[in-house]
């Protein structure tokens, strides 16, 4: 760029411009469009992000919680993100928060554009690109809210730095960089990149070099004198963790784009558009960007992920009927969805009567999630529900505690810690968790309910949920088998023979591994366990067994439901007439037989 | 001189320090204080007496404290909208505090002064509560007894979640016993997030100690003054790493148990977790020569040997021993006895094992033998089985007279776990881990040890915020006394972790 061009740009920076003034109404229209477009998307389609993120953290109104974040650079940004994320309990609030951030970001970049090249025809279009990138980024549910705030803070601080040529502003920008580094952590590197690039573009070598030196010194002082953090934390925190991003390239590309933004916008501003096309360019250009964003959203958006989180939300709400209905309607092929379905069936006491109404694609793997110390805790935590459901409360407590140690408190682990400690009679420790939960915005009421149970075992026993779990507890001790979970069910049942949930899980396990002999061995116990009828799928197993052996096993005084018998006869007739080479094509099996154990035996 | 105290002072939470002439008897001071507490206009005689002591947390009622202890802040667990507290010595000095939330915090300087003025060895804390209607209730005074012997100025402990398999934040902390100063010594985020294990000091010496770190920053870090040396103590000939340490008083050797450790989780609500040794033996490590050799036993029976502890004269090695089991599920049958072996310091040879305390005979198990600096007494933990007493609710501390070999359960125990313990350098104080607060998290408790017949009621390490223990889920692990402050910090250990861990040489038969 020649000197005259630089002068021209400088003069444009400081005087009102017709072009930009004309563009302002268009921009605000676009801003409104962005607000509604992003808000509606996250309200209707992307709301699983809110559920997931709200469940990944627990904002606590306490000095100790604040202290955890204040001890490292970037912590305050995460703190602010967590503060806002607690409103994600409502998809309306969540959508408004995200839409506001995207709109503010677009507004900030619009102002930045004005400062970089006030007359550019592309100012409006260009200003919404970062927001659209963030919308796309946000479809990754692990992209936490503080990352959006980090980008917004970096851009806002950059806008402040370049909003006038006065010396004091430069001095303030330089002097306050350590503060920015402390507040925004690694997001300040994005600002640093923008600042240095912009100043180099404008041949302000001194400012660029001096800022670089200050950043370097700040980093050294933070590292060696102030914060007890390793180099890697100071360099990366709180950027999105690699663990959660299988492909972080998009995030780094987006960050690169924002760092290069001043340069890219300066280049594109060099393109001159005739005045009569300005409006057309703005309107169609913006529509094009929105269309491209929509296109990518449609490609990235995963209904299966949304379904899984919908199920998980129902699980957290203990809406067992909701889970059963949802899974039987959607028939999700996801293993976790099937695991949740089995949990819900067990909680309703119909595991062996209904489990084949939903898909069982993974055999015994959808019964429980095995402990794996190498797996990420936020995925593995789901395994806790199985133990809680069958009454292995110590093990449920352990999983919840391990989650708390690694992830910090989140609503689900702390609730389980409270419930399991109350069930086990560990009131003093339960009180500590209740104290934490009482200092939150949305779980106060929940905590108070359980606070009333402290030191009151009769109240705990009379609680429908906790009282039921107490009845399922093992009566004597046994060592938990981490690598052989089936043994835990057997041990639990031996320890507490009246535990019907463990009993049904034991039979479900046998059925899923097609161990009919195992089912038959226990079929006679139903009556003594208080069942008035044999669960439907167990009857189906018994009938299948009888067809192979020639007689029914000892049913312990109960009988096979005539409806089941009739259905079995129909299935037998159908299969005899439709079997080709001892094989049945899955697609050929009539719908009426697809929710039977026979279907599972033949097809899976 | 008597400080004039008006009602406006009482109405705030500000603290008023009153200095009286030394000659005024205690009774008069208490009475005067009570008048002030009651609001100047009220006659103390008209305040109804509760006829009992107030409930305070931590429980400091009747405890024996050292003269150099940090302020014993507490929370009043009585109903009332306000409380007036007067802590007074017999020597004309009183500290008055008005609290609206029940939290009582003593300023450090005034607290020190209060103790220094208590020449009869007692502090009386008088509490008056006031309800919503302005009705007052006076409680019987809470007495704290002051021992003449000071406590070591620092303790060191690991602060971490009482977790199972996972861990994230672990730090080694040194904490002043004389103030609330807490200084971080090592933090695992600077050690590549690895686990920081057992720390052990040579005779409470802050300049001579060691700690283990696992994983990529792994090794045993020996500290001599301000120098840190990183060693890899697992010689190729050893089947398992060096785990539980015991310093020889000469500082030349550290004896370790080399253990194969597994964890097991319980299904019963009364139990939680067990840490079991499937194999363990004793090895002796020469720090200067970086040499390791086995401490062999002539007995052909396969034993588990662990928790080495040296007598202060360096002539005996005490340790715990159990018969090895063949089935890991049989872990409830592992019971440790207390034994010792003589050690010839001129030849570095160990003699034959001799039984010191037969725990198996009473169907119990011993862990953590710790000998008093004068060599006369030994405190150990006794529990039902195994050696990981911190997870045993029934674990209690026992005092063994090394002269008579008689052991007695100590009066300092509770219904919850009492486990790791150590002696102060003067042998007059014991610090021990106790889970009496909530059953899950261990706290460091101090007990005065006058003699086997004269053991004071224990008190928990005072905190600036007395409510801290009520909400902290982290545990204080392996509290050890220190005679001074350690001059190193987390960055020193981080730097040392960058050094190569020099592997120990093995001398003798394969382990």
Sign of CA dihedral B385, B390, B394, B398: positive
- Give me B351's structure tokens: 């003699």
DSSP per-residue codes, B234-302: --TT-SS-EEEEEE-TTSSEEEEEEEEEEEEEESSTT--EEEEEEEEEEEEEETTTTEEEE---S--S-
Residue pairs between chains A and B whose CB atoms are closer than 8 Å = 101
Per-residue pLDDT for B1 more than 50?
A: no
Distances (CA, A) of A115 to A194, A271, B260: 13, 17, 67
Per-residue pLDDT tens digits for B431-447? 999 999 999 999 999 99
From chain B, the residues in CB contact with A228 under 8 A are: 184, 187, 189-190, 490-491
A390 compared with B89, residue with greater pLDDT: A390
Judged by CB atoms closer than 8 Å, whether chains meet at A394 and B267 is answered as: yes
Q: Edge-to-edge, what's the strand order for the sheet holding B74-76?
A: B56-57, B74-76, B103-104
Task: Say what the pLDDT of residue A360 is.
Answer: 95
Q: H/E element holding A317? A: none
Question: Best mutation site among A221, A236, A396, A432 for testing chain B: the one with the most B CBs within 10 Å?
Answer: A432
Q: Does B415 lie at the interface with A, CB-CB under 8 angstroms?
A: no
DSSP secondary structure letters along A29-86 = HHHHHHHHHHHHHHHHTTTHHHHHHHTS-----SHHHHHHHHTSTTHHHHHHHHHHHG
On whether any CB of chain A is under 8 Å from the CB of B215, the answer is no
A393: chain B residues, CB-CB within 8 Å: 269
Contact status, residue A99 vs residue A238, Cβ threshold 8 Å = no
The bridge status of strand B142-147 relative to strand B64-66 is parallel
Name the stretches of chain A with pLDDT < 50.
1-21
Helix then strand then coil, in percent of chain A rounded to 5, is: 75, 0, 25
Contact B213, B497 (CB under 8 A): yes
CA distance B113 to chain A (A): 31
Does position B20 have pLDDT exceeding 50, yes or no? no
Q: What are phi and psi of B384, to 5 degrees?
A: -75, -40
In this complex, do A429 and B473 lie within 8 Å of one another by their Cβ atoms?
Answer: yes
Helix (H, G, I), strand (E, B) or coil at A597: helix
Q: Does B195 touch chain A (CB under 8 A)?
A: no
Residue of B nearest to A223 (CA): B491
Please answer yes or no on whether B264 and A478 come within 8 Å at the CB atom.
no
Q: Are B235 and B510 in contact (CB under 8 A)?
A: no
- Residue of A132, A223, A213 lying closest to A182 (CA atoms): A223
Q: Decide: residue A93, CB within 10 A, 0-12 exposed, 13-18 middle, 19+ buried.
A: middle
* CA gap B146, B448 in Å, rounded: 10
Whether B137 shows a pLDDT value over 70: the answer reads yes
pLDDT at B31 over 90: no
List, in sequence order, every residue forming a beta bridge with A466; answer none if it has no partner: none
Structure confidence by residue, pLDDT tens digits, B155-169: 999 999 998 777 888
Given this model, what pLDDT does residue B13 score?
36
The pLDDT of residue B146 is above 50: yes
A394: nearest CA in chain B?
A: B267
Secondary structure class of B223 (helix, strand, coil): strand
Closest residue in B to A492 (Cα–Cα): B267
Q: Which of A230, A395, A435 sits opposite B265 (nearest CB)?
A: A395
Min CA distance, A382 vs chain B (Å)?
16
CB-based contacts of A545: which residues, under 8 Å, 6+ apart? A516, A517, A519, A520, A552, A553
Distances (CA, A) of A462 to A423, A450, A474: 11, 12, 19
Check pLDDT > 50 for residue B3: no
Among B164, B269, B270, B275, the residue to mutate for chain A (most A Cβ within 10 A)? B269
Q: How far is A408 from chain B (nearest CA, A)?
A: 10
Is A45 in the B-facing interface, judged by CB distances under 8 Å?
Answer: no
pLDDT reading at B283 higher than 90: yes
Quote the CA–CA distance of B152 and B155 in Å, as a whole number: 8
* Maximum Cα–Cα distance across chain A: 101
Name the closest residue on chain B to residue A477, using Cα atoms.
B268
Between chains, do A426 and B165 touch, taking CB under 8 Å as contact? no
* Residue B227 CA neighbour count, 13 Å, CB half: 3
Window 51-80 of A: residues touching B by CB (8 A cutoff) are 64
| Separation CA B62–CA B49 (nearest Å) | 20
- Minimum-distance CB partner of B168 among A401, A405, A431: A405
Q: Helices (DSSP H) in A272-319: which residue ranges?
A: 278-300, 303-316
- A138 half-sphere exposure, CB direction, 13 A CA radius: 32
Rg (CA), chain B: 25
- The position carrying tokens 């101090």 is B446
Contact check, Cβ <8 Å, A393/B269: yes
Measure the CA–CA gap between B77 and B95, rounded to whole angstroms. 20
Burial class (CB in 10 A: 0-12, 13-18, 19+), A434: buried
State pTM to two decimals. 0.90
Reduced DSSP (H G I as helix, E B as strand, rest coil) percent helix, strand, coil of chain B, to 5: 10, 45, 45
Inform me whether the pLDDT recorded for B271 exceeds 90: no
| Residue in A428, A457, A483 to test binding to B, most B beta-carbons within 10 Å | A428
- The whole-number pLDDT of residue A124 equals 84
Instruction: Report yes or no: B495 at the A interface, CB cutoff 8 Å.
Output: no
Q: Does B265 touch chain A (CB under 8 A)?
A: yes
Choose among B166, B267, B441: nearest Cβ to A477.
B267
Q: Is the pLDDT of residue B370 over 90?
A: yes
b/e for A305-332, b at 16 or more Cβ within 10 A?
bbbbbbbbbbbeeeebebbbebbeebeb
DSSP string computed for A374-426: TS-HHHHGGGHHHHHHHT-HHHHHHHHHHHHHHH---HHHHHHHHHHHHHTT-
Which range has the worst mean pLDDT, A531-545, B39-53, B284-298, B435-449? Answer: B39-53
**CA-atom Rg of chain A in angstroms:** 31
Query: Residue A491's closest chain B neighbor by CA?
Result: B267
| Cα B293 from Cα A98, distance rounded (Å) | 65
Q: Is A395 on the interface with B (CB under 8 A)?
A: yes
């Amino acid at each position: 760029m020649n000197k005259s061009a630089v002068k021209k740009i400088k003069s444009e920076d400081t005087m009102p411009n017709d072009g930009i003034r004309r563009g302002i109404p268009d921009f605000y229209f676009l801003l409104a469009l962005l607000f509604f477009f992003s808000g509606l998307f996250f309200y209707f389609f992307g709301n699983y992000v809110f559920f997931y993120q709200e469940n990944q953290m627990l904002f606590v109104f306490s000095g100790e919680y604040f202290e955890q974040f204040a001890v490292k650079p970037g912590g305050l940004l995460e703190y602010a993100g967590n503060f806002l994320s607690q409103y994600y309990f409502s998809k309306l609030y969540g959508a408004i928060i995200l839409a506001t951030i995207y709109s503010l970001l677009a507004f900030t970049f619009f102002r930045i554009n004005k400062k970089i090249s006030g007359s550019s025809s592309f100012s409006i279009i260009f200003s919404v690109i970062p927001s659209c990138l963030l919308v796309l980024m946000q479809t990754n549910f692990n992209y936490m809210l503080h990352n959006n705030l980090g980008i917004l803070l970096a851009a806002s601080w950059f806008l402040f730095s370049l909003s006038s040529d006065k010396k004091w502003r430069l001095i303030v920008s330089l002097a306050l960089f350590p503060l920015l580094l402390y507040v925004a952590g690694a997001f300040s590197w994005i600002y640093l990149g923008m600042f240095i690039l912009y100043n180099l573009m404008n041949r302000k070598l001194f400012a660029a070099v001096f800022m670089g030196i200050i950043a370097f010194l700040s980093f050294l002082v933070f590292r060696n004198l102030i914060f007890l953090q390793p180099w890697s934390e100071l360099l990366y925190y709180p950027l999105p963790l690699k663990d959660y991003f299988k492909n972080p390239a998009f995030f780094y590309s987006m960050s690169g784009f924002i760092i290069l933004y001043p340069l890219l916008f300066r280049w594109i501003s060099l393109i001159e558009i005739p005045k009569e096309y300005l409006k057309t360019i703005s309107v169609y250009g913006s529509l094009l960007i929105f269309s491209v964003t929509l296109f990518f959203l449609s490609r990235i958006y995963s209904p299966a992920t949304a379904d899984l989180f919908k199920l998980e939300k129902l699980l957290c709400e203990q809406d067992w009927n909701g889970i059963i209905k949802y899974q039987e309607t959607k028939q999700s092929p996801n293993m976790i969805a099937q695991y949740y379905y089995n949990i819900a069936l067990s909680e309703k006491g119909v595991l062996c009567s209904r489990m084949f109404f939903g898909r069982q694609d993974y055999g015994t793997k959808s019964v429980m999630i095995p402990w794996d110390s190498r797996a990420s805790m936020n995925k593995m935590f789901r395994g806790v529900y199985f133990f809680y459901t069958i009454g292995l409360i110590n093990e449920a407590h352990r999983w919840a505690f391990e989650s708390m140690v690694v992830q910090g408190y989140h609503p689900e682990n702390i609730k389980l810690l409270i419930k399991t400690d109350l069930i086990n009679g560990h009131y003093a420790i339960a009180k500590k968790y209740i104290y934490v939960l009482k200092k939150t915005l949305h779980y106060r009421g929940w905590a108070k309910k359980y606070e009333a149970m402290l030191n009151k075992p009769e109240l705990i026993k009379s609680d429908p949920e906790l009282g039921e779990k107490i009845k399922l507890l093992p009566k004597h001790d046994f060592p938990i088998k981490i690598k052989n979970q089936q043994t835990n069910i057997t041990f639990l049942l031996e320890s507490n023979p009246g535990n019907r949930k463990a009993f049904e899980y034991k039979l479900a396990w046998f059925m899923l591994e097609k161990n009919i002999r195992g089912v038959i061995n226990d079929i006679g116990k139903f009556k003594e366990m208080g069942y008035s009828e044999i669960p439907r799928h167990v009857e189906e197993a018994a009938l299948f067994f009888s067809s192979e052996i020639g007689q029914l096993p000892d049913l312990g005084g109960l009988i096979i439901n005539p409806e089941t018998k009739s259905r079995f006869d129909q299935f037998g007739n159908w299969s005899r007439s439709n079997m080709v080479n001892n094989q049945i094509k899955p697609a050929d099996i009539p719908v009426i037989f697809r929710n039977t154990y026979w279907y599972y035996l033949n097809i899976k | 001189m008597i400080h004039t105290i008006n009602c406006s002072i009482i109405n705030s939470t500000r603290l008023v320090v009153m200095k009286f002439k030394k000659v005024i008897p205690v009774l008069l001071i208490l009475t005067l204080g009570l008048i002030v507490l009651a609001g100047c206009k009220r006659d103390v005689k008209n305040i109804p007496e509760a006829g009992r002591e107030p409930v305070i947390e931590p429980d400091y009622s009747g405890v024996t404290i050292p003269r150099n202890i940090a302020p014993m802040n507490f929370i009043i667990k009585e109903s009332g909208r306000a409380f007036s507290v007067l802590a007074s010595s017999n020597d004309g000095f009183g500290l008055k505090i008005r609290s609206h939330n029940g939290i009582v915090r003593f300023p450090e300087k005034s607290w020190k002064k209060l103790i220094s003025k208590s020449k009869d060895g007692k502090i009386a804390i008088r509490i008056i509560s006031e309800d919503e209607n302005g009705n007052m209730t006076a409680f019987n005074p809470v007495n704290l007894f002051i021992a003449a012997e000071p406590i070591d100025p620092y303790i060191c402990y690991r602060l971490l979640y009482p977790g199972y398999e996972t861990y994230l934040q672990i730090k080694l902390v040194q904490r002043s016993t004389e103030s609330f100063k807490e200084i971080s010594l090592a933090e695992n985020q600077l050690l590549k997030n690895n686990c920081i294990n057992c720390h052990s000091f040579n005779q409470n010496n802050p300049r001579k100690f060691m700690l283990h770190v696992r994983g990529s920053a792994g090794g045993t870090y020996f500290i001599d003054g301000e120098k840190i040396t990183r060693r890899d103590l697992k010689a190729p000939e050893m089947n398992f790493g060096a785990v539980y340490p015991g310093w020889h008083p000469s500082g030349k050797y550290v004896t370790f148990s080399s253990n194969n450790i597994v964890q097991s989780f319980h299904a019963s609500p009364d139990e939680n977790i067990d840490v079991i040794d499937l194999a363990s033996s004793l090895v002796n490590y020469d720090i200067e020569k970086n040499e390791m050799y086995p401490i062999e036993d002539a007995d052909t029976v396969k034993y588990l040997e662990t928790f080495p502890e040296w007598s202060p004269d360096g002539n005996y090695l005490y340790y715990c021993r159990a018969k090895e089991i063949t089935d890991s599920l049989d872990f409830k049958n592992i019971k440790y006895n207390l034994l010792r072996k003589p050690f010839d310091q001129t030849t570095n040879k160990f003699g034959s094992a001799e039984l010191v305390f037969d725990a198996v005979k009473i169907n119990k198990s011993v862990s953590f033998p710790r000998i008093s600096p004068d060599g006369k007494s030994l405190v150990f933990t006794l529990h039902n089985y195994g050696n990981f007493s911190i997870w045993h609710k029934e674990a209690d501390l026992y005092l063994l007279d090394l002269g008579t070999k008689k052991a007695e359960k100590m009066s300092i125990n509770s219904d919850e776990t009492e486990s790791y313990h150590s002696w102060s350098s003067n042998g007059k104080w014991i610090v021990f881990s106790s889970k009496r607060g909530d059953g899950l998290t261990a706290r460091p408790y101090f007990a005065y040890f006058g003699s086997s017949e004269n053991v004071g009621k224990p008190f928990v390490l005072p905190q600036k915020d007395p409510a801290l223990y009520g909400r902290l889920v982290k545990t204080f692990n392996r509290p050890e006394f220190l005679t001074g402050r350690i001059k190193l910090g987390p960055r020193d250990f981080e730097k040392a972790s960058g050094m190569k861990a020099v592997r120990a040489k093995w001398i003798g038969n394969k382990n």
